[in-house]
């Protein structure tokens, strides 16, 4: 019995957590991030961009649509049981992308450079603790933490829409009374 315990202790890593060294992420997540961030190339310069850059050209609606797609990868990360700090980092990547994309013209260039889906997919690959086959569902605490992150991103989203409508209303009332 003692020999068996010694063998078990020898197999355990020193930090006590077993993590796979290489996790295969679902192919659909890889395709989605590639399509959204790196699908097209500028021939002479070699710069890559994806559908995010094209969809973002539609004011306000484009930012909302591409942010929702980026949130899909974040939701998928819960199933791979990434640590909560990584979920928070992924949420920050999306929030930075969304806020940066709100700046007219410069935000579109920033969105091409930032590539939140590729960033988040790389974080997912590095920090996933279970394989795709084992990733049937996440833990309840992870889902609650994800709800907080998504709630924060949605607050940014609805806040920007509300500010846009308030600004347009203010300009419209000032023009009407100014004449």
Minimal CA–CA distance to 38: which of 96, 122, 106, 146? Answer: 122
The residue length of the chain stands at 179
Minimal CA–CA distance to 120: which of 158, 139, 140, 146? Answer: 146
Mean pLDDT of the chain: 79
Q: Write down the pLDDT at residue 99.
A: 85
Q: Write down the pLDDT at residue 5.
A: 43
Rounded average pLDDT over 161-179: 81
50 three-class SS: coil
Q: Write down the pLDDT at residue 135.
A: 62
List, for residues 26-45, the tens digit of each pLDDT value.
788 888 899 998 888 888 88
Minimal CA–CA distance to 116: which of 132, 100, 135? Answer: 100
Residue 9 has pLDDT above 50, yes or no: no
Residue 159 has pLDDT above 70, yes or no: yes
Minimal CA–CA distance to 36: which of 2, 72, 84? Answer: 72
Give how far Cα 16 sits from Cα of 13, 20, 82, 106, 120, Å: 5, 13, 17, 47, 26
Q: Write down the pLDDT at residue 136.
A: 61
pTM over 0.75: no
Q: Write down the pLDDT at residue 14.
A: 47
Q: What is the dihedral of CA 132, 136, 139, 142, to 10 degrees?
A: 50
List, for residues 138-157, the tens digit of each pLDDT value.
677 777 888 888 888 888 88
Residue 129 has pLDDT above 90, yes or no: no
Q: Write down the pLDDT at residue 120.
A: 92
* Pick from 4-18, 44-58, 97-111, 163-177: least confident: 4-18
Given its phi and psi angles, is residue 47 left (phi above 0), alpha (psi -120 to 50 degrees) or beta? Answer: beta
């Amino acid at each position: 019995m003692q020999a068996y315990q010694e063998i078990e202790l020898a197999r355990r890593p020193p930090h006590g957590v077993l993590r796979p060294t290489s996790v295969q992420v679902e192919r659909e997540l890889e395709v989605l991030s590639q399509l959204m961030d790196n699908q097209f190339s500028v021939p002479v310069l070699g710069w890559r961009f994806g559908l995010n850059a094209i969809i973002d050209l539609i004011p306000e609606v484009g930012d909302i649509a591409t942010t929702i797609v980026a949130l899909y990868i974040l939701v998928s990360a819960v199933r791979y049981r990434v640590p909560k700090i990584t979920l928070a980092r992924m949420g920050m990547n999306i929030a930075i992308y969304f806020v940066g994309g709100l700046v007219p013209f410069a935000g579109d260039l920033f969105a091409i450079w930032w590539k939140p889906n590729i960033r988040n997919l790389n974080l997912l690959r590095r920090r996933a603790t279970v394989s795709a086959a084992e990733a049937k569902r996440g833990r309840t605490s992870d889902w609650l933490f994800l709800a907080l992150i998504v709630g924060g991103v949605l607050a940014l989203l609805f806040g920007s829409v509300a500010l846009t409508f308030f600004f347009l209303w203010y300009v419209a009332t000032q023009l009407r009374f100014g004449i």
